């Protein structure tokens, strides 16, 4: 039995499903996953148009500006899902090191251009003609794939401090630091959380993770309060604060959710979307769902993400190899975590932060990379278990 299996607790004695049962479970989960994603994307098109028409008219003199861009990215996303579901996911195992170091190069390049004054403000985007590419989304998935590879390759000595934990931690902190200094503290925090969860599930000693957290959490807290706008967000969340814009944002979100009642006001009948709630088509799109579709509509979206999580876990549990298992876990955790954070912010359960609702919020980069992740999940669900792990590319234990 692989130690990665034993650590993850998926192959307990007497509970190992037959190959046929595992393949059938994976296949059903993969098909259901595709259906869930299509439903979420369709909801996204409807809600983005409803919530963004007023803002689009004001900004671009075209109420359908956000609609047609969202439709374009939705079809592109579906094409991405289909394309990558047809590709053997092992290609990401082979390319994971290149993808991760290329993403680090891009993140460092953005900071360099920010430092010399070419980029003003946050260094997060690379312009590509009519669209912009957010590098942190690329880095997030590159890290998931390379961590899945390293955890699988190092399964025989995953608890070793020098040969396993330090290489993993170095890569994680490099990516997190570059994203944080962009600055993009919320994304950096989520990427760090994803990395630590994967290390925990992969079998890294809890003692090592806790010892790292002792200095890391206070350092992150100091970094978080280093910028006045982040302090204002925290004050606004905990005691109302004096930051009128943020308090206004939260108030409008809660008013919108309250307006919806049980069944909602109906499609296109939101009151808060009419220039009352900033970013109603992006960060606060869940508020519009709650207002127009009511409590039932909001719960339906929650159920879809819960079903997504279950399908992802089934695919991971029955994956044909360690890399597929941890890649599936990383992708599933990432998408569901982003959904939870977005919904929690919209409901004033967490402080305001710029995290989109996967497959629903307006935007192209996040939707396309999440679609890539779903395609990989479906590819993993189609892979038959051959009973043997692919040969490792790692030459030595300390390799990253």
Q: Which of 214-223, 233-242, 270-279 reaches the highest mean pLDDT?
A: 214-223
Higher-pLDDT residue of 335 and 392 is 335
Average pLDDT over residues 153-174: 92
Average pLDDT over residues 208-237: 77
Distance CA(45)–CA(55), nearest Å, equals 15
Q: What is the pLDDT of residue 256?
A: 83
Query: Of 76-80, 129-133, 254-258, 342-346, which range is least confident?
Result: 129-133
Q: What is the pLDDT of residue 212?
A: 92
Average pLDDT over residues 75-89: 96
Residue 11 contacts residue 366 (beta carbons within 8 Å):
no
Tokens of 318: 């029955």
Average pLDDT over residues 347-366: 87
DSSP code of residue 157: G
Query: Of 4-8, 28-32, 174-178, 272-276, which range is least confident?
Result: 4-8
Domain boundaries, the chain: 40-86+243-386, 91-226
For 122: left if phi > 0, alpha if psi spans -120 to 50, otherwise beta; the answer is beta
Is residue 390 predicted with pLDDT exceeding 80? no
> In the chain, what percentage of residues exceed pLDDT 70?
83
Distance CA(193)–CA(187), nearest Å, equals 10
Q: What is the pLDDT of residue 236?
A: 65
Is residue 85 predicted with pLDDT exceeding 90? yes
Distance CA(216)–CA(176), nearest Å, equals 12
Confidence band for 264, pLDDT divided at 50, 70 and 90: confident
Query: Of 250-254, 255-259, 365-369, which range is least confident?
Result: 250-254
Average pLDDT over residues 96-118: 92
Torsions phi, psi for 290 (to 5 deg):
-65, -35
Residue 152 contacts residue 4 (beta carbons within 8 Å):
yes
Is residue 15 predicted with pLDDT exceeding 70? no
DSSP code of residue 372: H
Distance CA(44)–CA(100), nearest Å, equals 30
Instruction: Of 228, 229, 250, 254, give the one whose Cα is nearest residue 239.
Output: 250
Q: What is the pLDDT of residue 239?
A: 63
Average pLDDT over residues 147-161: 93
Is residue 303 predicted with pLDDT exceeding 70? yes
Higher-pLDDT residue of 199 and 64 is 199
Mean pLDDT of the chain: 84
Q: What is the pLDDT of residue 18?
A: 58
Average pLDDT over residues 199-220: 90
Tokens of 264: 């909602």
Confidence band for 45, pLDDT divided at 50, 70 and 90: very high
Q: What is the pLDDT of residue 296?
A: 95
Q: Helix (H, G, I), strand (E, B), or coil: what is residue 134?
A: strand
Torsions phi, psi for 323 (to 5 deg):
-60, -45
What pTM, to 2 d.p., does this model score?
0.89
């Amino acid at each position: 039995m692989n130690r990665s299996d034993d650590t993850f607790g998926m192959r307990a004695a007497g509970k190992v499903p037959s190959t046929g049962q595992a393949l059938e479970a994976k296949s059903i989960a993969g098909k259901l996953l595709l259906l869930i994603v299509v439903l979420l994307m369709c909801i996204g098109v409807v809600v983005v148009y409803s919530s963004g028409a007023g803002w689009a008219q004001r900004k671009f003199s075209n109420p359908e500006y956000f609609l047609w861009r969202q439709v374009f990215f939705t079809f592109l996303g579906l094409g991405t899902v289909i394309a990558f579901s047809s590709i053997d996911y092992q290609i990401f195992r082979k390319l994971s090191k290149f993808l991760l170091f290329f993403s680090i190069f891009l993140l460092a390049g953005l900071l360099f251009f920010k430092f010399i004054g070419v980029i003003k403000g946050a260094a997060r985007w690379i312009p590509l003609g009519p669209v912009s590419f957010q590098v942190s989304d690329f880095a997030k998935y590159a890290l998931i794939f390379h961590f899945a590879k390293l955890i699988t390759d190092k399964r025989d000595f995953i608890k070793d401090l020098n040969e396993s934990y330090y290489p993993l931690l170095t890569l994680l902190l490099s990516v997190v630091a570059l994203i944080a200094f962009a600055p993009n503290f919320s994304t950096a925090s989520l990427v760090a959380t994803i990395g630590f969860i994967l290390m925990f599930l992969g079998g890294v000693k809890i003692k090592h993770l806790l010892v790292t957290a002792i200095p890391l959490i206070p350092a992150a807290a100091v970094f978080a309060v280093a910028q006045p706008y982040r302090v204002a967000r925290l004050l606004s969340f905990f005691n109302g604060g004096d930051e009128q814009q943020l308090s206004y944002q939260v108030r409008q979100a809660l008013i919108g959710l309250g307006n919806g009642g049980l069944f909602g006001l109906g499609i296109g009948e939101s009151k808060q979307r009419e220039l009352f709630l900033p970013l109603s088509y992006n960060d606060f799109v869940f508020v519009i769902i709650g207002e127009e579709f009511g409590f039932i509509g909001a719960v339906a979206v929650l159920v879809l993400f819960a079903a997504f999580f279950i399908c992802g876990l089934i695919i991971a549990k029955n994956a044909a190899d360690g890399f597929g298992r941890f890649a599936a876990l990383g992708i599933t955790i990432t998408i569901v975590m982003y959904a939870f954070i977005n919904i929690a912010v919209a409901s004033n359960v967490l402080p305001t932060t710029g995290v989109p609702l996967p497959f629903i919020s307006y935007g192209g980069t996040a939707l396309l990379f999440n679609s890539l992740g779903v395609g990989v999940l479906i590819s993993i669900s189609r892979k038959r278990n051959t009973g043997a792990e692919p040969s490792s590319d790692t030459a030595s234990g300390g390799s990253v």
